[in-house]
Amino acid sequence: MAYEQTSIDTKLIHAGEIRPGIEGAVSLPIFQSANFESVEGEEYHDIKYMRLSNSPNHTVLASKLAALESAESAFVTSSGMAAITAIFHSLLETGDHVIFQDCLYGGTYDYARREFARHGLTCDFVDGDRPENWSAALRPETRMIYFEAITNPLVQVADLSAVVEFAREHDLVSVIDNTFASPVNFRPAEIGFDLSLHSGTKFLNGHSDIVCGAVIGRTEPVAKVKKMMNYLGGSLDAHACFLLHR
């Protein structure tokens, strides 16, 4: 069943679910198996393996998250920072430049300021309320623009439609941290963002009992980021998938 036109409440309950339920179960069970039967000739990233984030718990949860944001694809990670760093390391090359909003989650800001240089990356920070000034930060090597839907912790909201327009005009990958808004309040794919990410520890989960992350968006960039995560090993365990799914 397609859920494009249904309410977000219906998507929360039904999107991505395995039907009919396994052995008649109305709730997806926890698949604790680390390994699964494989098919001869499967490509490395398609082999069913817990670290590759493609167990039934992973895939059902990812499908649900993609549906909630009206996006094409998604996958989950062991933390929000795992999602963030995998995006940088999969979509940027040595010498590339990123434009950041000047009010960011501390972990993202610290990583950009302290670690980018070690990987040959550079960045500049812009005022999210002044899109007319963003062009001044552009360089020939600029490849990405990165904002937050609602900033953590100062709850600032930038002109997000202008971010998408700016990215399209200058052929940049548009990335947004949608943690504080959540899919209930904002769905970045609907206005054209390439990727959104979450620290699922916060509003996606809501119970302060797991640490997790998510990457959601267009199929092509999501697949690139997931392949990098497969190498880095930042997968989410089956129990945490179950808790976030519930």
Q: Which of 11, 49, 96, 105 is catalytic?
A: 105
Answer yes or no: 246 catalytic. Answer: no
What mean pLDDT comes out for the span 170-192? 97
State the pLDDT at residue 9: 65
**121 CB-near residues (< 8 Å, 6+ apart):** 88, 92, 94, 95, 96, 97, 98
State the pLDDT at residue 178: 98
Answer yes or no: 48 catalytic. Answer: no
Higher pLDDT, 19 or 188: 188
Ordered structural domains, the chain, with CATH: 53-245 (3.40.640.10)
Answer yes or no: 51 catalytic. Answer: yes
Q: Over the Cα atoms of the chain, what is R_g?
A: 18
Burial of residue 27 (CB within 10 Å: 0-12, 13-18, 19+) is exposed
Residue 13, pLDDT above cutoff 90: no
**Using the 8-state DSSP alphabet, how is residue 209 labeled?**
-
Answer yes or no: 127 catalytic. Answer: no
CA–CA gap between residue 31 and residue 41 (Å, rounded): 24
Report whether 57 contacts 30 (CB < 8 A): yes
Report whether 104 contacts 147 (CB < 8 A): no
- What are the pLDDT digits (tens) for 28-74? 888 888 888 887 778 888 888 889 988 999 999 999 999 999 999 99
Residue 113's nearest CA partner among 131, 134, 98, 133 is 98
What mean pLDDT comes out for the span 79-101? 98
Q: Which of 109, 127, 129, 202 is catalytic?
A: 202
CA–CA gap between residue 162 and residue 147 (Å, rounded): 11
Backbone angles phi, psi at 101, to 5 degrees: -65, 145
Rounding to the nearest 10 degrees, give the CA dihedral for residues 80, 244, 60, 193.
-40
State the pLDDT at residue 29: 83
